[in-house]
């Protein structure tokens, strides 16, 4: 509970001290007296980043100190835009300060009405009515698992698609790699080898021609046989020793020539074909990869090899991941359906409670409806989206489209009273909860605020006398020239303030009499 609020140089306030009690605390005063500065001070505690605009004109610093039951929170702001916060005497960050204070107080103003229009906030209100909150924990865990596995699956599919696209000609490249067997300096070596093979082949052809000429090959007489014939015609003119020498020489030459083997042509042809094939494959590989440097080419081939190896191995992993992702989605979907059943049940119950209170807030002809719509895709809230709808004899639509400010204000109050008590903060601050209302509607709103104040501390800034009269304590804010004064009032001071709110004058007898009636005091 908020027990005391100390304000220094905030808004139009130089120094202010407000004391609050349990129940319904009323703050009243003339327009411009400083009530909005009190709200600004409270907003600073909840984390508003106001900077210099919150500080009293001409001052360098402003400070708000809130004394709650069991703790003291302080926030100081400088006109430089910097600020510091404390929990007791310990410095804390603004986020931590905001978190602590927002668990202790809730400010209901026009911004809270805007928050009421947010679908996530509407769904959170409905979900707060579901007793078994473990189902939300189970769903969030299952949803995160499904989200993670789906992300992993999509990432793997994307990588597979990228590899398949990038290396769409990988099979042809691999065939070329198998043929070329690339290695550093291979192209030059193959070119030299091919040149050497060509030279040796040419020499072999010339030698074969010469040998065939000498021996005659397989069918004809060669030069050696012709030489023998020629020498035989000369033997008659030679002595025996010369003849013997010539015959031996011719036989030796014949034997030597016939022992010469130049049948290596097939092996040379195979080597040439292999060399030409490797060289052609290597050059085509360079063209297809657009890489001329052989070291880079080797790295490229390794990349392809590793990528395709991963592609092959990932197929079974892809199947497993697809199955796991499907199971995770099914589990999350099943939990979302359980949540939907609970939401539908609670939506009907909550709408009924709100409608009962709206009847007590002078809105008997208006029906509040909570509509759940199915989503095609799960999100962090489940499989539902929500609509808060108002219906009367002439209107039907979402509250953001048709509700007036006064209707939103009363609807917000009805929801506060209809939600589970343990979700209420210790303190709720209403800034003009009955703005735009009057007469019976304002009185009924006040009665509901009084009812709410039995569940938690309520602090209400109001211009409505019938509501102010219901307060358990009453703080009056008055301004004299440039200074603002605040004090808790009771007795005749309170009667005069209620009279002022009724008529504009604290001294009008009729207003004073009416004020005493509102305060349930005996006439003077």
| Residue 135: other Cβ atoms inside 10 A | 18
Query: For 326-362, how does the pLDDT look when each residue is reduced to its tens digit (9 = 90+)?
Result: 999 999 999 999 999 999 999 999 999 999 988 888 8
Total-model pTM: 0.66
Query: For 158-170, how does the pLDDT look when each residue is reduced to its tens digit (9 = 90+)?
Result: 988 887 777 777 6
Given a cut of 70, whether residue 474 has pLDDT beyond it is yes
Residue 5 buriedness (CB in 10 A; 0-12 / 13-18 / 19+): buried
pLDDT grade, residue 112 (50/70/90)?
Answer: low
The stretch 282-295 carries a mean pLDDT of 79
Domain residue extents for the chain: 2-128+361-489, 170-313, 490-524
Query: For 362-382, how does the pLDDT look when each residue is reduced to its tens digit (9 = 90+)?
Result: 888 889 999 999 998 999 999
Given a cut of 80, whether residue 313 has pLDDT beyond it is yes
Nearest to 250 by CA among 228, 217, 226: 228
pLDDT computed for residue 402 by the predictor: 87
Residues 6+ apart with CB under 8 A from 500: 506, 511
Query: For 402-428, how does the pLDDT look when each residue is reduced to its tens digit (9 = 90+)?
Result: 888 778 888 888 888 888 888 788 999
Phi, psi dihedrals of residue 375, rounded to the nearest 5°: -95, 150
pLDDT computed for residue 110 by the predictor: 63
Query: For 216-258, how does the pLDDT look when each residue is reduced to its tens digit (9 = 90+)?
Result: 876 667 888 888 888 888 888 888 888 889 888 888 988 888 7
Look at residue 209 and give its three-state secondary structure: helix
pLDDT computed for residue 264 by the predictor: 59
- The strand order across the sheet containing 2-10 reads 13-19, 2-10, 61-68, 71-78, 83-87, 90-92
Query: Which fold does the domain 2-128+361-489 belong to in CATH?
Result: Rossmann fold (3.40.50)
The stretch 155-180 carries a mean pLDDT of 79
Task: Round to whole Å and give the CA distance between 461 and 43.
Answer: 14
The stretch 119-124 carries a mean pLDDT of 88
pLDDT grade, residue 121 (50/70/90)?
Answer: confident
């Amino acid at each position: 509970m908020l027990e005391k609020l100390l304000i220094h140089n905030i808004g139009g306030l130089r120094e202010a001290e407000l004391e609050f009690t349990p129940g319904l605390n009323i703050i009243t005063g003339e327009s411009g007296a400083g009530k909005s500065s009190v709200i600004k001070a409270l907003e600073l505690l909840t984390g508003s980043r106001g900077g210099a605009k919150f500080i009293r004109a001409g001052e360098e610093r402003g400070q708000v100190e809130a004394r709650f039951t069991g703790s003291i929170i302080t926030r100081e702001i400088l006109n430089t835009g910097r600020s510091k916060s404390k929990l007791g005497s310990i410095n804390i960050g603004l986020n931590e300060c905001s978190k602590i204070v927002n668990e202790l107080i809730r400010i209901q103003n026009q911004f809270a009405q805007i928050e009421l229009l947010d679908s996530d906030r509407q769904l959170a209100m409905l979900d707060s009515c579901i007793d078994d909150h473990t189902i939300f924990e189970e769903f969030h865990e299952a949803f995160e698992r499904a989200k993670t596995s789906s992300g992993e699956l999509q990432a793997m599919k994307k990588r597979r698609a990228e590899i398949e696209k990038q290396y769409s000609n990988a099979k042809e490249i691999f065939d070329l790699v198998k043929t070329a067997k690339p290695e550093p300096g291979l192209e030059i070596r193959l070119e030299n080898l091919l040149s050497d093979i060509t030279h040796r082949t040419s020499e072999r052809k010339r030698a074969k021609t010469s040998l065939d000429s000498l021996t005659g090959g397989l069918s004809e007489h060669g030069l050696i046989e012709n030489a023998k014939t020629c020498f035989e015609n000369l033997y008659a003119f030679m002595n025996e020793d010369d003849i013997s020498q010539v015959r031996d020489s011719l036989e030796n030459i014949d034997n030597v020539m016939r022992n010469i083997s130049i049948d290596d042509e097939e092996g040379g042809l195979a080597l040439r074909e292999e060399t030409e094939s490797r060289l052609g494959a290597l050059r085509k590989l360079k063209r297809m990869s657009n890489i001329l440097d052989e070291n880079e080419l080797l790295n490229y081939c390794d990349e392809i090899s590793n990528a395709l190896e991963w592609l092959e191995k990932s197929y079974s992993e892809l199947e497993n991941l697809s199955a796991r992702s499907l199971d995770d989605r099914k589990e999350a979907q099943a939990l979302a359906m359980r949540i939907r059943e609970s939401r539908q049940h609670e939506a009907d119950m909550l709408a009924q409670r709100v409608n009962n209170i709206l009847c007590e807030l002078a809105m008997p002809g208006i029906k509040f409806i909570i509509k759940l719509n199915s989503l095609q895709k799960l999100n962090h809230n489940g499989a539902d989206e929500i609509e808060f709808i108002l219906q009367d004899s002439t209107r039907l639509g979402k509250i953001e489209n048709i509700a007036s400010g006064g209707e939103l204000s009363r609807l917000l109050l009805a929801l506060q009273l209809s939600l589970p008590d343990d979700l209420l903060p210790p303190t709720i601050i209403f800034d003009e909860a009955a703005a735009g209302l009057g007469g019976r509607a304002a009185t009924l709103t006040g009665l509901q605020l009084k009812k709410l104040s039995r569940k938690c501390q309520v602090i209400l800034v109001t211009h409505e006398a019938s509501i102010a009269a219901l307060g358990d304590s009453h703080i009056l804010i008055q301004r004299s020239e440039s200074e603002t004064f605040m004090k808790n009032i009771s007795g005749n001071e309170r009667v005069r303030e209620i009279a002022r709110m009724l008529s504009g004058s604290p001294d009008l007898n009729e207003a004073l009499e009416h004020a005493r009636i509102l305060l349930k005091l005996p006439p003077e």
